[in-house]
Amino acid sequence: MLTLSSKAIEMPASPIRKLVPYADAAKKRGVKVFHLNIGQPDIDSPECVMEAIRNVRLNNLAYTNSAGLESYRKGLAKYYNNLGIDVDFSQIMITTSGSEAVLFALSVICDADDEVIVMEPFYTNYRAFAIQNGVKLVPVSTKIDDGFQVPPMEEFDKYITPKTKAILICNPGNPTGTLYSKESLQKLGEIVKKHNIFLLSDEVYREFCYSDQPHFSAMQLGGLEQNVLLLDSVSKRYSMCGARIGCVVTKNKEVFDAMMKFAQARLCSPVVDQMAAEAALDTPESYFAAVKAEYIHRRDVMVEMLNKIPGVFTPKPMGAFYTIARLPVDDAEKFATWMLEEFNYNGETTMVAPAAGFYATAGTGTDEVRLAYVLNVEDIKHAIKCLEEGLKVYPGRKI
């Protein structure tokens, strides 16, 4: 009998991308769609990256070391050292995207039916990666009304069982923009140490922190050298989403050696993309300063406009480039679909990501959406105006 695997059946459609057919149909009708649904920055990649790609001179695109180009890994080690993260290049595994970094981490530390604790809402693809590895995600809930702040650390003790292998965090957070304080991470480190489990820290949005305090990495936690796996990517930092280059950083040699077997099985990560990522290490600080200022401006405009709409609430995110908004609607997915299928304002409409897919607890987040402030300010103003006008006439609006 021709049947699909249970993994294939359980795998959810991406809440970020599953409405794309409706957006495509709207565009064919001549409607302009503002994409606030996906974290694809419109910021130019650094010139040093594009110059490196233009100047590639290779006669043969040969395999590289499965752990990645040594010169790139040495450059990355210097980058981390400059941030106060003490690491050697031999402790860095280059991966084909940050997604593969998460997959490798889960594959190496978890058996089927093991548990990994996450704070919800969480990056939706964590669920997909967990399903691929037969891992159960155990959610610790955070609330929009208190800005999705990290819950008291004693909450985590309630969810730890003999099957718990790790806590997985994203700092700053996708989809909420929550930024972990140094104190919160230190308390989390105490939980990890107490139960001797792994801490997987996704720090893809490190450069996008909007507080006066510098980003504090899980790799800077003392006494957890064997427990912490840092997951990273060039996608957001350098606006290189299409390059698909990430990495895992760990001082746990047993974990690294096990990951190497997985890396060898996929042979190597893309060579030219690694070369571009290595060139990105020469990006001047002025680039990051300008990008950070631009995102702060975009955030402030979006948050202010959203909170002026009757019935809408969003907290002020302190990192990344996302915010979650609660809408006065019966169902956010129905509303998002309706905005693409049936509504336009002056020939324009807005695409958002329904937030329920970012939660593991059933029935949660059904009146929330994630919005990415990755468009220029004028487009953001148009997009939120469309959202406001759509809410006025949406049949399922809650009064």
Distance CA 115, CA 128 (A): 14
As a whole number of angstroms, the distance between CA 101 and CA 55 comes to 28
Show Cβ contacts of residue 89 under 8 Å, excluding neighbours closer than 6 positions: 70, 73, 74, 76, 77
For 6-44+286-393, which CATH class? alpha beta
Angle made by CA atoms 352, 236, 339, in degrees to the nearest 5? 10
Cα(184)–Cα(215) distance, integer angstroms: 12
Burial class, 388, CB count within 10 angstroms (exposed 0-12 / middle 13-18 / buried 19+): middle
Q: Where would I find the H helices in the chain?
A: 6-10, 20-28, 47-54, 70-82, 97-109, 125-132, 154-159, 182-195, 253-265, 271-280, 285-308, 332-341, 377-393
Residues of the chain with CATH 3.90.1150.10: 6-44+286-393
Sheet holding 353-354, edge to edge: 322-326, 368-372, 353-354
**CATH 3.40.640.10 residue window(s) in the chain:** 60-280
Q: What is the pLDDT along the chain (399 residues), one digit of tens a residue?
A: 899 999 999 998 887 788 999 999 999 999 999 999 999 999 999 999 999 999 999 999 999 999 999 999 999 999 999 999 999 999 999 999 999 999 999 999 999 999 999 999 999 999 999 999 999 999 999 999 999 988 888 888 899 999 999 999 999 999 999 999 999 999 999 999 999 999 999 999 999 999 988 899 999 999 999 999 999 999 999 999 999 999 999 999 999 999 999 999 999 999 999 999 999 999 999 999 999 999 999 999 999 999 999 999 999 999 999 999 999 999 999 999 999 999 999 999 999 999 999 999 999 999 999 999 999 999 999 999 999 999 999 999 987
Q: Which residues contact 247 (CB under 8 A, 6 or more apart)?
A: 68, 76, 92, 93, 94, 95, 101, 231, 232, 233
Domain 60-280 CATH assignment equals 3.40.640.10: yes
| pLDDT attached to residue 155 | 86
pTM of the full predicted structure? 0.95
Count of all residues that appear for the chain in the document: 399
Q: For residues 152 and 103, what is the distance between their CA atoms, to the nearest angstrom?
A: 28
